Amino acid sequence: MKSRKSGFQSGRHPLLACKWRHSTQRTVAFFAALILLVATLQPAAAQPKQDFLAANIDTTVPPREDFFQYANGEWFKHNAIPEGRPVWGIMNVVTNDILSRQRQLIEAAAAKKAPRGSVEQLIGDFWFTGMDLATLNKQGLTPLQSDLDRIDRIRSIKDVIDFTAILHDRVYQESSGAYDRQPALFFGYVQQDEKNSDRWVYSLSQGGISMNTPEYYSGSNPGTVKVRARFREYLFKTFLRLDHNGDKAKASADEVYELEAKLAKAFYESDEYQRISVAELEQLAPTIDWVRYFRRIGITRLDSIMMTKPRFFQSLDALLRTVRVETWKKYLRFWLVKMSASSLADDIFGE
């Protein structure tokens, strides 16, 4: 079966061979409850009797000739890369073991008739809801209706950024890091300062295009052309669901594609490290009310910001000033569906 992203996986490791949904409503409180349950119910792991490192040494290879093979050879002999996986290593094994144990705990909690409000009841209900594919498949885009209504009420660029902040906040709440899912327009995350590893800083970088690299929007390579065609098809199918009209869907899909292509032209490969203040950020991209944006994603104070792509934000600012609001609304409708797809009906996720 196909696997889906959830709160129990990192951005690179599939959960388990099951259809799993992550709810867009889960909160930090839920994860705290899960951690508590794991801590209280998980039996202490038995200490290995054999030295793990020594057991994986390949003594047939002289360490001077190939130390990597010497140190890891035995492990590779017993841990072939599984079919369909591009890479495999000890972290994959550890992750799968942890996820398997978590699932056992969750299913045990779901099977209990636990007291209302207890950790087991909350986790069990959450699991049941996420696994109820029959209901999800009947709902279609209905779970997004309140968000779609809010997009319909957008009248200004300020409203565009306010809704963008909502999408960003959900990414930060639901993912182990901003790298898990690239949000609309741009994205921010906390990382070590590139010039002072003792310091953690908030970093802003470019984002907001669906095909990851600018070449896909204009490149002539046959593979690039094929991906571009598939993306246009996906845009059309998404807007057909939203608009229920083929001509309108085609026009909306073309409009959003062209907007993403403009954003792609603003992408810059090289990093330009800058530490700037919020006031300097407001001068760099003045169309965005940055203090308001940060407040809406839960940041009330910033000493400084690490800016790696200042020219992108200058180009983004120009697009926010020149592209009509109705186009941005279509862009946000598409990104809302795309970012929510793993929590929606099978056919939406399949597309």
328-351 residue pLDDT tens: 999 999 999 999 998 899 999 999
Q: What is the per-residue pLDDT across 1-47, written as a single tens digit (0 to 9) for each? A: 333 433 333 333 322 223 344 433 343 344 444 555 555 555 555 66
The residue with tokens 């690490």 is: 306
Nearest Cα residue to 26 out of 122, 162, 131: 122
- Res 34: pLDDT: 52
- Res 39: pLDDT: 53
Q: Which of 10-19, 176-185, 190-199, 203-212 has the highest mean pLDDT?
A: 203-212
- Res 219: pLDDT: 87
Q: What does the block give as tokens for 194?
A: 């590139």
- Res 312: pLDDT: 94
Q: What average pLDDT is seen over the chain?
A: 85
Q: What is the per-residue pLDDT across 299-321, written as a single tens digit (0 to 9) for each? A: 998 989 999 899 999 999 999 99
pTM listed for this prediction: 0.73
- The DSSP symbol for 197 reads E
- Res 31: pLDDT: 46
Using CA atoms, how far apart are residues 235 and 209, in angstroms rounded to an integer?
13
pLDDT of 67 strictly over 50: yes
How far from the centroid of its chain's Cα atoms is residue 171's Cα?
6
Q: 22-27: long-range contacts (C-beta < 8 A, 24 or more apart)? A: 22/130, 22/174, 22/342, 22/343, 23/126, 23/129, 23/130, 23/343, 24/143, 24/170, 24/174, 24/340, 24/343, 26/126, 26/173, 26/174, 27/173
Q: 190-193: long-range contacts (C-beta < 8 A, 24 or more apart)? A: 191/306, 193/275, 193/306
**What value does the mean pLDDT take over residues 277-293?**
96
Residue 169: left if φ>0, alpha if ψ -120 to 50, beta else—which one? Answer: alpha
- The DSSP symbol for 341 reads G
Amino acid, single-letter form, for residue 51: D
Q: How confident is the model at residue 79 (pLDDT cuts 50, 70, 90)?
A: confident
